[in-house]
A and B are shown apart, each in its own frame.
Chain A
Amino acid sequence: MKKTLILTTALCGMAFGASAQEVNLLSWGGAYGNSHLEAYAKPFTAETGIAVNIADADNPATPIKAMVEAGNVTSDVASVEYADAVRLCDEGLLETIDASTLAAAEDGTAATDDFIEGGVTDCFVATDVYSMVQVYDDSKFADAKPAGPADFFDLEKFPGKRTMRKGAKFNLEFALMADGVPAAEVYDVLGTPEGVDRAFAKLDTIKNDVIWWDAGAQPPQYLADGEVTMAYAFNGRIFDAAMNDDKPFKIIWDGQIYEMEGWVIPKGAPNMEEALQFITYSTGTAPQARAAEFISYGPPRKSAAAAVGNIEGTEEPMAPHLPTTESNMGNALGSNLDFWVDHDSELNERFNAWLAG
């Protein structure tokens, strides 16, 4: 009896030792987290035998800061927004990732050239591009349809409430674009006090008709409830509602503001090697293209953009719904990270004071 016990314990120990090859992934949950599971984690485990444990957080950047500062790091790879990645990297909370280990494209283009600008930095490798887009409820505008940022601020021509994100970021840029500033000059204008005043003055014109949203799930909800006729919201959520719930929501790509998300490795990650292996695998062309079939966030690799197939479970191509597709990039603005890291708190305080006033 005792012998059996010892034997099983030893076996368990061995089994545990054998399965120790694993990667702990910190993701966002929801449809986005699901794309990580289906397009990256499952095929990666099938190919390498390394288990991927996925945990969810509201914003993985927050637990990373807490984990590294407390010296108890349990995640190996985390998905964070570009701005947070640079901020955490500058604060020494992330491991650096050697860009030369990333997989080259099939035609041999080096990874660093294959990614869009800013897609690979010291500590960060992009996995997808998402954007803030203008959306309208098609059933509410029978004749003329809104076409660009200026129409969002035109309450006479397009009556009804709007919904915008409760915060300075995205809204100030959008207001300037609506006021006639070309995308390329938005941050130059916003860098001056007059530019900020101009953006707030433009927001003033619709202030009384805006419902402010906090969580990404709210704008499609407001649209579906008929509370608002137009929204400025994340494209993935709107796509989900339009696609899965069959809502008449139309996206206007003119005036979109795009931003990247991607992998980082928290400083002191327990399974560094497996983490790098996972990053190399998941940022390869094929998994990148596959992920975009699950959620309408564009792949940051040029070689992957062409390889994106149909929307998962349908016969409809995904490409027209991605922010990175050429025809959608007409008047697109890349969110300026340096600007927001510098002015985040200042402009948000002003924004909150403006809201309350």
Chain B
Amino acid sequence: MASPLDPHAAIVTEAGGLDATLTTADGTPLKRALARASRKSRWRAFLLVLPLLAFIVITFVVPIGQMLHRSVYNDGFAANMPQISGWFAETEPGTVPDDAAFAALSADLQAAAEARTIGIVGTRINYEMPGTRSLFTSTGRKVRGGVEPPYREALLEIDGKWGEPELWASMRNSSTAYTGSFYLASLDRTRDTNGDIVQVNENRRVYIMLFMRTLWLSALVTVMTFLLGFPIAHLLATLPLRRSNLLMILVLLPFWTSLLVRTTSWMVLLQQQGVVNDLLIWMGAIDESGRLKMMYNQIGSIIAMTHILLPFMILPLYSVMRTINPSYVRAAKSLGATSWTAFRRIYFPQTLPGLGAGALLVFILAVGYYITPALVGGASGQLISNMIAEHMTGTLNWSMAAALAAILLAGVLILYWIYDRLVGIDNLKLG
């Protein structure tokens, strides 16, 4: 019997009375049986994708979330220096430190030195104000036994730096666990003693320049792969299958070869004592003193990256070109279009989905390229990813690495959004 609360039952009852209810062999109403069956299959479908979902959450969403969190969170100072952090919270930026401030500071320093956390505090301040880490560790060693009041004089006697307004401004910036200072640093900016955002000293500005270079170089590589890949993809798509398969292998073979092998091969070819230079000298095109510099600079990065990323442009283009009906171009020509017009107005627009997919793939891969620029880029071919690696493994400043990576991620997402507005993601065709 269907209860009056069951909506399905109610509808059936109104429509044709109790007798009209369709039931299965064992007497359950058909609709309920159907709902149960489809719920079951929905669950089964969900269970099938569950491993993938869990995989993506564990290996992708969580680490990226942690990274983003780390870029704004560093409690190195706040957690280990609670009293002075409290003083900063109560006073206005720019306040001259009073006796209470020095008392809180020396108490915190002593506690941190005893807990062996003074290094964490020093490292955190050193990010803001270079050259201060040893101030903390050496002061820590001296105050471990206790400090006698007056605290201001005691600390200033240990090191005159404790009176510097820049140091106090840096400590204020670090006194909250959540901070935007890593993002400021990633954009070559810092806060001055009044708390205003200013550019860092000219000879230390490097990150914005590297971001710009990364974007510019990636765009250039994308254009290069397009110029080189488009004719090849067209040839592949129009040749008879047997011959195009052979050509396809030539495209795929390097694609299947290790990235390192291809990068080092370019080094062998292009370096100043390399094969290409030797060949040019043998042909008499250049003389011994005029050997071309094609490696360990930006040119090296561009050549190697273009070659390595070329298949990512050719393959989507090829798969789209295969589906273009040649009769469109023939029709255009029979209506009086020149070859160029037919290409420009009929053929090329139809390749756009493939071009878009290829360009997006190449560009996004290029933005994050690391090992190739590190090996062949020299000084001028270094990209932002090399700085991220430097902060990950060299300086161990993971918050800074996270902030740089987050900016890069945001940049890529913005470009993706612009692309969606201009071309439309629905038009993307990967194969």
Which A residues lie at the B interface, using CB under 8 A?
A: 58-59, 61-62, 65, 84, 87, 89-92, 161, 166-167, 210-212, 214, 225-227, 338, 341-350, 352-356
Contact B378 A211 (CB under 8 A): yes
Contact B116 A342 (CB under 8 A): no
Does any Cβ of A come within 8 Å of B115's Cβ? yes
Does any Cβ of A come within 8 Å of B130's Cβ? yes
Q: B residues within 8 A CB of A166?
A: 379, 382
Q: B residues within 8 A CB of A65?
A: 396
Contact with A along B97-141 (1 / 0, CB 8 A): 000000000000000000111111011001100111110010000
Q: B residues within 8 A CB of A62?
A: 392-393, 396
| Contacts A/B (CB < 8 Å), 7 sampled | A87-B396, A90-B122, A338-B134, A341-B126, A345-B395, A352-B210, A355-B380
Contact A212 B378 (CB under 8 A): yes
Which B residues lie at the A interface, using CB under 8 A?
A: 115-120, 122-123, 126-127, 130-134, 137, 203-206, 209-210, 213, 271-274, 296, 374-375, 378-380, 382, 387, 390, 392-397, 400
Q: A residues within 8 A CB of B203?
A: 350, 353-354
Q: Give chain A nearest CB distance to B410 CB in angstroms.
A: 22
The 3 closest A-B pairs by CB, nearest first: A90-B119, A346-B130, A355-B379
Contact A356 B204 (CB under 8 A): no
Q: A61 to B395, alpha carbons, bound, how many Å? A: 10
Contact B204 A353 (CB under 8 A): yes
Q: B residues within 8 A CB of A346?
A: 130-131, 204
Q: A345-B126, A353-B205 are in contact. List 19 more A-B contacts (CB 8 A).
A: A61-B396, A62-B393, A65-B396, A87-B119, A89-B116, A90-B123, A90-B137, A92-B119, A166-B382, A212-B296, A225-B273, A225-B274, A227-B271, A341-B134, A348-B394, A349-B204, A352-B382, A353-B209, A356-B382
Q: Give chain B nearest CB distance to A247 CB in angstroms.
A: 15
Given that A59-B393, A212-B379, A356-B379 are known contacts, is A92 also in contact with B117, CB under 8 Å in the complex?
yes
Given that A353-B209, A356-B379 are known contacts, is A92 also in contact with B393, CB under 8 Å in the complex?
no
Given that A92-B119, A353-B203, A355-B379 are known contacts, is A345 also in contact with B397, CB under 8 Å in the complex?
yes
Which A residue's beta carbon lies closest to that of B268?
A: A225
Q: A39 to B393, alpha carbons, bound, how many Å? A: 28
Q: A residues within 8 A CB of B396?
A: 61-62, 65, 84, 87
Which B residue's beta carbon lies closest to that of A161?
A: B272
Q: A352 to B203, alpha carbons, bound, how many Å? A: 9
Contact B379 A91 (CB under 8 A): no
Q: B residues within 8 A CB of A343?
A: 130-131
Q: A residues within 8 A CB of B132?
A: 342
Q: A residues within 8 A CB of B209?
A: 353, 356
Q: A214 to B382, alpha carbons, bound, how many Å? A: 11
Q: A97 to B359, alpha carbons, bound, how many Å? A: 56
Contact B379 A342 (CB under 8 A): no
Which B residue's beta carbon lies closest to that of A349?
A: B204
Q: B residues within 8 A CB of A91?
A: 117, 119-120, 123
Q: B residues within 8 A CB of A58?
A: 393
Q: A87 to B118, alpha carbons, bound, how many Å? A: 11
- Which of B123, B273, B374 is the one whose CB lies under 8 Å from A87? B123
Q: Give chain A nearest CB distance to B277 CB in angstroms.
A: 11
Which B residue's beta carbon lies closest to that of A344?
A: B395
Q: A128 to B372, alpha carbons, bound, how many Å? A: 32
Q: A residues within 8 A CB of B392?
A: 62
Which A residue's beta carbon lies closest to that of B390?
A: A348
Which A residue's beta carbon lies closest to that of B374?
A: A214
- Which of A225, A338, A350 is the one whose CB lies under 8 Å from B271? A225
Contact A356 B206 (CB under 8 A): yes
Which B residue's beta carbon lies closest to that of A61?
A: B396
Q: A345 to B395, alpha carbons, bound, how many Å? A: 7
Contact B380 A356 (CB under 8 A): yes
Q: B residues within 8 A CB of A92?
A: 115-117, 119-120
Q: A62 to B206, alpha carbons, bound, how many Å? A: 24
Q: A107 to B394, alpha carbons, bound, how many Å? A: 40
Given that A62-B392, A227-B272 are known contacts, is A89 also in contact with B382, CB under 8 Å in the complex?
no
- Which of B126, B205, B382, B397 is the one whose CB lies under 8 Å from A355? B382
Q: A338 to B209, alpha carbons, bound, how many Å? A: 30
Q: A166 to B378, alpha carbons, bound, how many Å? A: 9
Which A residue's beta carbon lies closest to that of B135?
A: A342
Q: A317 to B342, alpha carbons, bound, how many Å? A: 78
Q: A345 to B131, alpha carbons, bound, how many Å? A: 10
